[in-house]
Structure 1
């Protein structure tokens, strides 16, 4: 409805669970690592909890995409069942054939046990995932505990993952469920996003909806969205969407703090009543009400995380401390560093290739700029060809889409350690990587679990550019910057630093007034400078 007004190709805060908007913060990555760690825990329970809308289903979706091929998964999303109904559902999800008269708990348990033993003999692992697990009764939880007694001499046969709201933690802490609590091999609680992560989340969704569109929120509006939403992604979506609709109704190019406050009144019932003039006339007939009611079911999404890059230093801002965090430490190796389990054929081809060191990745990347940098330190060699290296520590897809150029990233290998891969193409649902002579396409959800969010690329230095955040005092560099700003629609007038700030605000960059690597890359892109482009990006 308002997308084209803000230069977007689609509404960035839609309630549809669109994988193109996948965003995973550091918390979501760590939660995913806990689930993957639990697969190697030899049976028992894995517990993932979080507030409504915190992104539990996002993590679960990424987990299911990475479950190895030898795992058989049963997924239950409506667990308000009796013991008998639960066992019937579990058998149905696993596709277990039952005898004609199998109408007792024992008959279902016997059939499940036979299925698990047959799978174990074939090298398979059974995983039962229960969403909304806070709805389970104590009786059903006890039956689930008994199912984890199904075992061979070497290992338990069933891994159970419970995903639910915070009250699930309270349930398993009850004295009568102590035996179940002792079988939890990994647990994690998803807290809200920090202010920095909230800004990164919003920027990421906007960059997917319109990579070149100006940021339609002021800094004060972003801070207010975080405060009113509590950092919960679903509430951020609902509030940001309503704020943009409000700005559109007023004909404003961006939402300000007051607009966000007014939107909160409509969405959450807080703040002053909205003046009638603020409501867009075309929403008559109840369309506004339908939008708000529809948004209550906001997706449990998304993600690929990612702190936004600091525009002038060539580094990435670090994520702020988040509320929540991990529960007590897990036994054994730290789950956050446990290598993800790769199950797809595409990943298998990638892992069969020898690990690619960063120096090799830089050289392969330089070839996309038609530059051969040879041996020696790659970035020093690239500088001889007027190219500079740029590194972002954890910017994720937000930075990749913002820069729109190929680069190399680090992937965690299943045997441990890491390997570089060139990210050469990106579309709405997949990323294409090259490494060790292999080219593979991965879903964005799969990539999110393998990649910590780093990104390294090259950028072309303007004429006379010096090694300083604003190009130095070279007249050619200043002239290039002046012309680039004029070309971008930033009229001459105030100081050069203020004009750079105007450009940075329009591009959704930190407005510090210094033309660093990201600012120059955006100017280069708008000017049509010949640089390598990421396939699939506009």
Structure 2
């Protein structure tokens, strides 16, 4: 096993390829496992490493934990630390906030929980609230919580990429970094492995001819909406701001009063529930990452945005390449660092008060503290729109409140804008 394999030079990787020649009449003599950062996938996709890449026989993704797994993971770590009676140290809203801020990344979950428990200890509290999680995120992750602005190219969570040399050559485990910042940003399609060890002739460098430009893949010709991840990010940002994306998407979002929200979903209804245009995490035929921008879903199919054209796709075809993850942007109230509840204060509370005053067509009181009366007004609104009724102003509650006021950048608004921008351009 070779760790941090993305640092290997071309000559070393070529020697690894040659080691796959070592075999008896019955079996291969070596099994090589490569593990590394997301750059390993990009490196393997380079044309000069095509022969090595052709020996890959298996690829696996290690994806972030989902919401339920995050809850189970936190409880397991607490039990290992001595919480034998399964006491609920973290409230339900705190666990939801941990998942939202961490994106299901274990390292970030550990950081948030550790700092939040220290905060609870310092305040002599025996339970961690969502507010403490928000404060912990601000302390350990900076002003932009994980998954909401700290996803720059150099600060990504490094998920494992791995490759294994098996009986028929090289098998690669290719894993992305957090959600959309996935491993593959390769522009050169990679040939699929052909045959087994007994059927494949393994050429030496002397036998290898000059590399030719590969033909366009089926993805590129029949699915013009299947974009590189950075192109999908640029397309979404173009809709939101009308400008070119100069920095990583979530970094640009934070600088403009927006937040990145990541979600894992099993159905299209879950994806469109926030009512915001979303980037879908997709996969190419070779298993590497791709993305597209979703504008709408109906019985007739999905409407997608490429940055220059509006495309239609059947839900069956889209589902066949979807990884079950999505990302969308939403406008935050000023001073937002996380869910707001009773006892909180500041400009974020004032904006919540102003929003309800506008909704109720009443003058806004000069209030900057989250009072029991405000919590009850939030509960009334949550009951009205069918949300969990807890009196806490979380992201979903604020998004629906913004939509009621006509402020939200909804799917309908995004579709209309995309159609105007495309000017009737053909989807190709």
Shorter-chain TM-score range? 0.3 to 0.5
Say which one has the larger Rg.
1
Relative contact order, higher structure (CA 8 A, sep 6+) = 1
**TM-score, length-scaled by structure 1:** 0.32
Greater fraction helix = 1
